[in-house]
Homo-oligomer: A and B are copies of this chain.
């Protein structure tokens, strides 16, 4: 038996204790976007810092102007490449609460079609994922007393609310955090059998717009027909944001967007992606995006505009004949290639202002921005990680794109100059950001074992 075999056996033997620790973290209601949960977000950071200390890291909870960061270093320098592992301990809000089958912060294991699943908010995104790395480190330390390579850890508490503190924190702590390579665990497997390494990420621009017309709510009987209704104005603007072919109409939006290179297209075609099943799993049958693009292109390699929330007027039970003073929407753009988030934000704002009718005003609130990212498909660390994952899963990992943005990858590159290996164990059907979010126990176990192998592979 090699040391690695001992570590893997230890992981399997101690899986119940690993699950207990994950459940403890899942019970903490660390919703970062809602200020009412501030104390719980802090509690999650404190708990993680304590766990890392317990394993033998030198860990600390570092304040920011928002939620804190957890930073930990392994005091033993094992040599080899120095890696910085990143995960986030904050979670999405839980509404609509009435669609959860059990309370979102009371984790439980449910068996569905023979698969044991951990059901809770954050089970997959990202508490379950980050704990795979913590538990892998714990196993190495328990079995061998040390880690195969030099490891530092960074846990963020604002990933689900636009990561406002990330960039300034990385810049202010660049010396402390600099490593040779980042490991990021916030992505999916290809499917239950095949692991994946994500090498292409869409970027993001988040904007909230509020349109105001009259200076008060008006009775639609008394004023209807003469007074401007900001819900109509907002609907008109949203309708104009896309053309009949599903293309975004903001001027300059496609600057920096290239067609997919032939080699990437060939690789993706070889994956045998079943777009009917992908859509059918969520009750849909036809792709709704740009015409003439495959579903994989639409979700990995094409930019989008989505309204993520809209509200205006009376939205309670019953009816109220009001012309509201204002209406607002949360709108996000997914970016690819060389699209410039700042330029797109400016062009979007100009577009909205250009379509405002008389008597209306608009205010904008910024909710995060990140450039798209593409990693080289080759390289030593990538090859070693591919081999480690192949050993664990018995199958070569897919090299994939991801539709969601993971701003930290771009920030790590910009602030610290380091590339990221994005390896995650979530599944398509994990319902992240939705009611009844889950993480398969096989993802959790396989994730811990995979990291144990990757750490060893990077050392050799």
Contact = CB atoms under 8 A, between A and B. Distances in A.
A359 B289 CA distance: 13
Contacts of A293: 225
B434 A218 contact: yes
A458 B68 CA distance: 76
B34 A317 contact: yes
A351 to B, nearest CB: 15
Contacts of A161: 318-319
B239 A235 contact: yes
A307 B220 CA distance: 9
Given A225-B334, A232-B238, A299-B225, A320 B33 contact: yes
A317 B35 contact: yes
A327 B324 CA distance: 18
Given A95-B314, A308-B320, A310-B310, 12 more contacts: A93-B314, A218-B434, A219-B404, A220-B308, A221-B403, A222-B403, A225-B290, A226-B287, A231-B307, A232-B238, A288-B357, A319-B368
A314 B236 CA distance: 20
Interface string A194-228: 00000000101010100001111111111111111
Contacts of A217: 96, 433-435
A39 to B, nearest CB: 16
A5 interface: no
Nearest to A275: B226
A306 to B, nearest CB: 5
Q: Which 4 A-B pairs have the closest CB atoms?
A: A221-B404, A33-B318, A215-B283, A309-B313
Given A226-B295, A313-B310, A220 B283 contact: no
A402 B214 contact: no
A257 interface: no
A199 B315 CA distance: 32
A41 interface: no
A452 interface: no
Contact of A307 (B202, B229, B404): B229
Contacts of A432: 219, 222
B220 A299 contact: no
Nearest to A96: B217
A198 to B, nearest CB: 12
B224 A284 contact: no
29 contacts: A34-B318, A162-B318, A208-B319, A213-B283, A213-B284, A213-B288, A216-B435, A220-B304, A220-B308, A223-B299, A224-B306, A224-B332, A225-B293, A225-B304, A225-B403, A227-B284, A229-B306, A231-B307, A232-B238, A234-B310, A285-B358, A308-B323, A310-B312, A310-B315, A315-B330, A320-B330, A321-B404, A321-B433, A322-B434
A311 B310 contact: yes
Contacts of A431: 216
Contact of A236 (B202, B228, B239, B332): B239
A216 B313 contact: no
A315 B319 contact: no
Contacts of A242: 232
Interface in A153-190: 160-162
A282 interface: yes
A239 B33 CA distance: 31
A354 interface: no
Interface in A275-305: 275, 278-279, 282-290, 293, 295, 298-299, 302-304
A4 to B, nearest CB: 33
A132 interface: no
Contacts of A283: 213-216, 359
A367 interface: yes
Contacts of A323: 306, 308
